[in-house]
Amino acid sequence: MDRKGFTVIELLVGVVIVIVIVLIALPLGAIRVKRQVEKGMKTQMVCIREAEEAYKAKHGTYTSDETKLADWKHTARKYHFQIRNASSDRFIAEAKADLNNDKIYDDIWTIDENGVLKNIK
């Protein structure tokens, strides 16, 4: 008899192939999203530095109050920004993120008045 269709083995092989493709694709997508979020954070850090420089040019000192930085608006997802230290000649801004949603900051970056961007954690 000539039967048309797939055998159970052929169906199982097809399902396994699809599962393997999905298991490979999912982490790659997560990595891409993380990089995009990190890129947005770095852009925000540069904007903070530029806003601090503009503030210093006008007032003669850096500020630790983000609300006084007129040219900077917080738009990066998942990151919390703050200016840790500010004085007349230096400042350090910090970006912290809880990327795993476990209430622990697992990604911390800083930028200073010279534009040095560092990954602390």
The helix or strand, by DSSP H or E, that contains position 32, with its residue range, turns out to be helix 8-59
Structural domain including 20 reads: 9-119
Beta strands per DSSP E along 1-116: 79-86, 91-97, 107-112
pLDDT (tens place) for every residue of the chain, 121 residues total? 567 888 899 999 999 999 999 888 888 877 888 888 888 889 899 989 999 999 999 999 999 988 888 766 776 678 888 898 899 999 999 999 887 778 788 889 999 999 999 998 8
In a domain, 1, yes or no: no
In a domain, 4, yes or no: no
Q: How many domains does the chain have?
A: 1
pLDDT on residue 118: 93
pLDDT on residue 18: 94
pLDDT on residue 52: 92
Residues paired with residue 107 on neighbouring β-strands, in sequence order: 97
In a domain, 74, yes or no: yes
CA distances from 86 to 94, 100, 109 (A): 12, 30, 16
CB atoms within 10 A of CB 78: 16
| Euclidean distance between CA atoms 99 and 8, whole angstroms | 42
